[in-house]
Amino acid sequence: MSGVNPYHPGEPEASYRDRTTAVARGRGSSTLNPGNRFEPVRLHVLGEYLDEQRQEHPDGRQIATRVFHDHSRTIINRVADSPDIPFRWTINPYRGCEHGCIYCYARPGHEYLGMSCGLDFESKIMAKLDAAEMLKRELAKRSWAGEPIVMSGVTDCYQPLEEKLRLTRQCLEIMAACGQPTSIVTKNRLVLRDLDLLTELARHRAIHVALSVTTLDPKLSRVMEPRTSAPRERLKAIEQLAAAGVPVSVMTAPIIPGLNDRELPDLLKAAKDHGAQHAGWVLLRLPHQIKALFLEWLHQHFPDRAARVESLIRQSRGGDLYDADYSQRMRGSGRHAEAIRDMFRLWCRKLGLDQPMPKLSTDQFRRPSRDGQQGLFDRMPDSPGP
Do 98 and 89 contact (CB within 8 A), yes or no?
no
Q: Which residues of 320-349 are buried (b: 16+ CB within 10 A; e: fewer)?
A: ebbbeeeebbbbbbbebbeebbebbeebbe
pTM of the predicted model, to two decimals?
Answer: 0.86
Domain ranges of the chain: 13-351
Pairing of strands 76-78, 89-91: antiparallel
pLDDT given at position 7: 39
Do 283 and 316 contact (CB within 8 A), yes or no?
yes
Do 224 and 101 contact (CB within 8 A), yes or no?
yes
The list of the chain residues with pLDDT below 50 reads 1-22, 372-386
Do 299 and 17 contact (CB within 8 A), yes or no?
yes
Phi-psi region of 343 (alpha: psi -120 to 50; beta: other; left: phi over 0): alpha
The helix (run of H) or strand (run of E) holding residue 165 is: helix 162-165
pLDDT given at position 47: 58
Check: CATH 3.80.30.30 for 13-351? yes
pLDDT given at position 295: 94
Distance CA 26, CA 222 (A): 9
Cα dihedral 79→82→84→89 (10° resolution): 20
pLDDT given at position 370: 62
The SS3 of residue 277 is: coil
User: Each residue of 358-382: pLDDT tens digit?
Assistant: 999 999 999 997 654 444 444 444 3
Do 111 and 36 contact (CB within 8 A), yes or no?
yes
The helix (run of H) or strand (run of E) holding residue 214 is: none
pLDDT given at position 31: 64
Distance CA 4, CA 17 (A): 10
In the beta sheet, which residues pair with residue 124? 66
Distance CA 62, CA 14 (A): 25
User: Each residue of 60-115: pLDDT tens digit?
Assistant: 667 889 999 999 999 999 987 778 788 899 999 999 999 999 999 999 999 999 99
